[in-house]
Structure 1
């Protein structure tokens, strides 16, 4: 993997869960949403979220949530075909319904089909199931962002990351592509002491819907071949699958491991190990 990185000319990084790996803010976000739920279901709300984190719920990171059907879909990330589906209570959706409802490639749209690529989406999906509004989720998300700039919250810096990026910066293009808003991105980079290390920052990227479009633009701008670029992130749906489909190399940060195999894919438990 290190040889692949050294030979590359362009590295495209994600931010949340990649350049920092803390997760406390996801729990905080969930707690704010839980407080907005009816008192009679707040305990159930919390328990469902905890089950998701532990992997004992149909909804999990790596799945897709069908808001209309209140169902968790298992999707092949490279073909975008739905291979299985379960209702919130775990009841499997039969094969006939599966073919009727989810034939062809699935299109993520942030409205009906929500890609659960990282920890931000678990509280959101829980809120949707329990009847909270989009306004509830947006206000709670913004309140979480405020919490993340307070003295109560601190980021853990990845050992050696700054030095590695400084070295790579001298001979490669480093680009940041994230769904976070620009002000949040700049603040987080300053706190991590990683500001001024990137040639360009793409914020509010609307991954995975816009991932391929943005990667194509980046490759064109920096005049590199797909095989000379590497996408690095913790979200397989957002950063890894689209890159592999375009012929890029990819480094997938997944502490629990992954059974997927691809010639251009490298899996590491932490970003520290990638460098």
Structure 2
């Protein structure tokens, strides 16, 4: 693992779930959405979310949510082919219907097909299923962001991360590529004491829809071949699969392990194990 990092010229980091691994803010986001749901289903609402986190629900991180059909889709992350679809109660779509409804490569669009790449999306999908609006989710998301800058919330620093980045910065290009807005990024980096350690920051990257475009721009700017770059993140759909398809190396942060085998893929339980 350390040889991969040391032999690379460009390291591209995700932010949420990568440079910090706290998850309390996802629960807070879900509670805010739960309060906006009809009182008769509020318990059911949060119970569904808890089951998702425990892997006891068709919706899970790594799946794709079909907003139109209210279905949880299993998608091969490298071919983007839908291999299974399940209703909220776990009932699976028949093979013939599956091929008819999802005949080719799935295109993530943030409108119908929602890539559930990290913990932010579980409350969102729950809200969509139980009839909340996009405005509800946006208001709750912004309120959660305010919560994250309050005295009630604090981030856990990954042991040794700051020192490792300071050392790597001396002879490697360090880039931060995230879906978070720039003001949030700068605030989080300051709180994590990681501000000033990246040569460039790419906020609002619209991963996974624009992942390949942004990665291509980064490689071009630094004039670095894909095999000399590493994409590091906790979201397989957003930053790992696209990087592998482009020939980059990838470090996937996944505490529960991952079964997919790929020559350019390394799986670690936490970023602390990457250096």
Shift >6 Å, 4+ stretches: none
Q: Which residue matches 1:61? A: 61
What is the rounded CA distance, in whole Å, between the counterparts of 1:191 and 1:4 in structure 2? 29
Give 3-state SS (helix, strand or coil) of 2:179's partner: coil
| Superposition map of 1:6-21 within 5 A | 6-21=6-21
User: Shift of residue 243 of structure 1?
Assistant: 0.1
1:216 matched to which residue of 2?
216
TM-score, scaled to structure 2: 1.00
- Mapping for residues 106-255 of structure 1, pairs under 5 Å: 106-255=106-255
What residue is the counterpart of 1:45 in the other structure? 45
> Equivalent residue of 1:78, what SS?
coil
- After superposition, the C-alpha distances for 1:148-177 in whole angstroms (9 at most, x for unaligned) are 000000000000000000000000000000
Q: RMSD value over aligned CA atoms?
A: 0.4
Gaps of 5+ in 1: none
How many aligned positions are there?
275
Using the alignment, how far apart are the partners of 2:256 and 2:117 within structure 1? 14
For residues 213 and 233 of structure 2, what CA distance do their matches in structure 1 show? 17
Q: Does 1:85 align with 2:85?
A: yes
**How far is 1:31 from its partner?**
0.1
Q: 1:73 corresponds to which residue? A: 73
Kindly state the Cα deviation for residue 258 of structure 1 after the two structures are TM-superposed. 0.5
What secondary structure does 2:141 align onto? helix
Task: For structure 2, list consecutive stretches of 5 or more residues without a partner in the other structure.
Answer: none
TM-score normalised by L of structure 1: 1.00
Kindly state the Cα deviation for residue 7 of structure 1 after the two structures are TM-superposed. 0.6
Q: Distance in 2 between matches of 1:198 and 1:274?
A: 17
Q: Residues 83-122 of structure 1: CA distance to partner in whole angstroms, max 9, x if unpaired?
A: 0110111000000110001011000000000000000000
Q: In the alignment, what sits opposite 2:263?
A: 263
